[in-house]
Amino acid sequence: MIRSTITLLVLSVCCRIGFAQATAFTAVDDGEARSRIVLGNRASKVAKDAALLLQQSIRDVSGVELEILSEEQFTSLETAQRRGFVIGDGALARSLGLDSSALEMEEFRLLSAQDLICFVGRSNARSPAEVWAVRHFTDEVLGIHTLWPGKIGTHIPRTDRIVVPIMEYRYRPLAYRRFRTWPKTPHPEVEQWLEAHQLSTRLYNRDGYKFGHAFTDWWERFSENPETRAYFAEAPDGKVQLRTPAKPEYAKLNVGNPAVRRQIIRDWKASAEQPPLIWNVCPNDSAGYDTSDASCALDTTNYPKPDIWSGKASMTARYVSFWKTLRSEMVAELADPAQKDQFRLTTYAYGAYREPPPPGTLGPGFVIQIVPTYDAYGRAMWEGWRQAGASELLCRPNWWHMGGSAPHLPLRDVFEYIAFIRARGMAGIDMDILLPHWATQGAYYYLLARTIERPDLTLEAILSEYTTAFGPAADEVERYLAYWEAFTKKAAYPFPAGGPVSQNPDGLYETLQRKHGYSLNPLRGSWEATPFLYTKEVLQPAVEILDRAAGKVAPGSIEAERVAFLREGLRLFWYRRELIRLKAPRLRTATETEDDFREAVRRWEQLRDQMQSRFGHVVDQQAIPDRL
């Protein structure tokens, strides 16, 4: 083994709270243990899991297994041997001034003192805070990084010497966070990747906020009754109807009708929880907004009714008016003044009502989940809703629906947007939707997970974590990511935010889609545009970069497997590009037929199966996307 040292200079701490000054210490030296892992005498099951994780991580890095001792066993050692890692509540942690009961839920803390480093956290059934504390150490000091799901996606540096620096770190994850996945129940390796980044497909939700289109069952409940049919939107011809008859869950409400508010209040009061202090009023999806005089009276601009119905007019003013009146009526039903202050309505800023209202017009008592863009418009949207006075703002991006399965990598733009909104009150993120395009978009997934998990890291630090895992090929992988990031900027896919929001009407995507008569909506158009955007001339420089990367890594090494993962992923994308082209008869050459399309599907599926066998469950399963 090549002798090396993992060490890191982090925040130095002179501990002046009643115990000796902290010192860095050597945990492993020359392949031998020089420290122990100590379980606090009040350690929880989570703390025990954290101890096992730390033991495994140090063994993976150094080949050395540290023994796990009780506090009694540890304190019985000679003073010179009392060096190591204290995990969980107990007498040792308390002597250092640490106790999980002093932390907020999901908060964790690392603190050095003497020749010890202590890990404590406030866990619950879903949130293993002590495990997160240990993962921070294995990430920051050992350099273990979980880049993508599966064995080759975890970077584990090797060393025979581990020096533990003086550390102090305290962190509480965002209150509301989730990465939705496709499929909805992902492979366990994907869930493990999420857990390694303090995320899940299941919602972490400390404050109990509820979002989601809130009235999807109303058409079924109320449309047949002549009295309650007036709850629903009128079309420009004055008739109550669905804009999309096959989608009753898209039904829009007549928000100018007071009976709608009364029905919402009846549903609220009938809830099992009495009274619910959080109530979801997110409008249903799609267009079909009400054109009745009652709702139009809430607008501050006199829009043409066809524009209202189709969602081309701003509906923000009417919905803000509706929400404010509704909230005041609901608060009036509460007798307790404290409950009146605590009561929150949750809703979206999305589609035709994404534009922020004037400053101060919303006021407290509202929690807004913004479906944003990540450009200057998205920043203005966030700042506008913040100045409108919402109690809290959450981020609900649809960005992973952009680009299909292409190497779509808006890395700097996304990083800078998240940093911008985090500095302006972001209370959570609900990301839609993590697709299995790890070989082409994995750096993007990793960047966003790390940006949420570690707001202290720079963009360069996160990308360095990713590229370092490729060893001697790191510089080529850095060039590869930069190549596709630059192309992503040129492509300029519109944002899916309740209809397409243009990023650049003169970008390649919009220019080519207009030229070929295809949709500008990226949900479908991202796939349709693939043959036009990703020509051989576009892919060839990327192929050459990865060829050079393959020449720099040792055959059979884990770095070679990682480079192969990217290369095969790009090849799979090209096969996908070809089958999309061949599916459209007008894009075929004069000699190509349906048989060529079927052969393209077979070839794609064969490579997909080979990749799944070789790299694990990080490869797309659908040859033909549902959107096509």
Q: Compute, in degrees rounded to 10, the torsion defined by CA atoms 472, 474, 476, 482.
A: 180
- pLDDT value at 245 more than 50: yes
Give me the pLDDT at residue 619, please. 85
Q: Which of 178-187, 228-237, 441-450 is least confident?
A: 178-187
Rounded CA separation 466/481 (Å): 10
Question: 140-153, pLDDT tens digit by residue?
Answer: 999 999 999 999 99
- pLDDT value at 194 more than 80: yes
Report the share of the chain in percent with pLDDT over 90: 93
Please name each of the domains of the chain with its CATH number.
Answer: 5-172 (3.30.379.10), 218-397+411-432 (no CATH), 483-615 (no CATH)
Give me the pLDDT at residue 21, please. 77
Mean pLDDT of the chain: 95
Question: Mean pLDDT, to the nearest integer, of 462-472?
Answer: 99
Question: 52-100, pLDDT tens digit by residue?
Answer: 999 999 999 999 999 999 999 999 999 999 999 999 999 999 999 999 9
- pLDDT value at 127 more than 80: yes
Rounded CA separation 202/191 (Å): 10
Question: 330-378, pLDDT tens digit by residue?
Answer: 999 999 999 999 999 999 999 999 999 999 999 999 999 999 999 999 9
Question: Mean pLDDT, to the nearest integer, of 562-575?
Answer: 98
Beta-bridge partners for 117: 85, 112
Rounded CA separation 566/544 (Å): 12
What letters, b where the CB count within 10 A reaches 16 and e where it falls short, cover 495-531? bbbbbbbbbbeebbbbebbeeeebbbbbbbbbbbbbb
Give me the pLDDT at residue 19, please. 44
For the four alpha carbons of 154, 160, 164 and 165, in that order, the dihedral sign comes to negative
Beta-bridge partners for 366: 345
Closest CA to 529 of 599, 596, 597, 577: 577
Rounded CA separation 429/176 (Å): 6
- pLDDT value at 3 more than 60: no
Give me the pLDDT at residue 618, please. 84
What DSSP string runs through 126-165? Answer: S--HHHHHHHHHHHHTS--EE-SSSGGGEE----SEEEE-
- pLDDT value at 311 more than 90: yes
- pLDDT value at 18 more than 70: no
Task: Give residue 126's pLDDT band: very low, low, confident or very high (50, 70, 90).
Answer: very high
Give me the pLDDT at residue 625, please. 80
Rounded CA separation 246/268 (Å): 28
Give me the pLDDT at residue 141, please. 98
The values of phi and psi at residue 618, to 5°, are: -125, 20
- In 268-343, where do the E strands start and end? 278-280
Count of alpha carbons within 13 Å of 167, Cβ hemisphere only? Answer: 23
Are the C-beta atoms of residues 281 and 350 closer than 8 Å to each other?
no
Task: Give residue 20's pLDDT band: very low, low, confident or very high (50, 70, 90).
Answer: low
Question: 129-142, pLDDT tens digit by residue?
Answer: 999 999 999 999 99
Task: Give residue 12's pLDDT band: very low, low, confident or very high (50, 70, 90).
Answer: very low
Q: Is the peptide bond before 472 cis (omega within 30 degrees of 0)?
A: no
Are the C-beta atoms of residues 518 and 583 closer than 8 Å to each other?
no
Give me the pLDDT at residue 628, please. 75
Rounded CA separation 252/245 (Å): 12
Q: Between 558-583 and 474-491, two packed helices, what is the crossing angle to 10 degrees?
A: 20
CA distances from 386 to 305, 373, 424 (A): 30, 16, 8
pTM of the predicted structure, to 2 decimals: 0.95
Question: 196-213, pLDDT tens digit by residue?
Answer: 999 999 999 999 999 999
- pLDDT value at 28 more than 70: yes
Rounded CA separation 523/499 (Å): 9
Question: 384-399, pLDDT tens digit by residue?
Answer: 999 999 999 999 999 9
Give me the pLDDT at residue 320, please. 99
Burial of 58 (0-12, 13-18, 19+ CB in 10 A): buried
Closest CA to 33 of 76, 65, 74, 78: 65
Give me the pLDDT at residue 26, please. 98
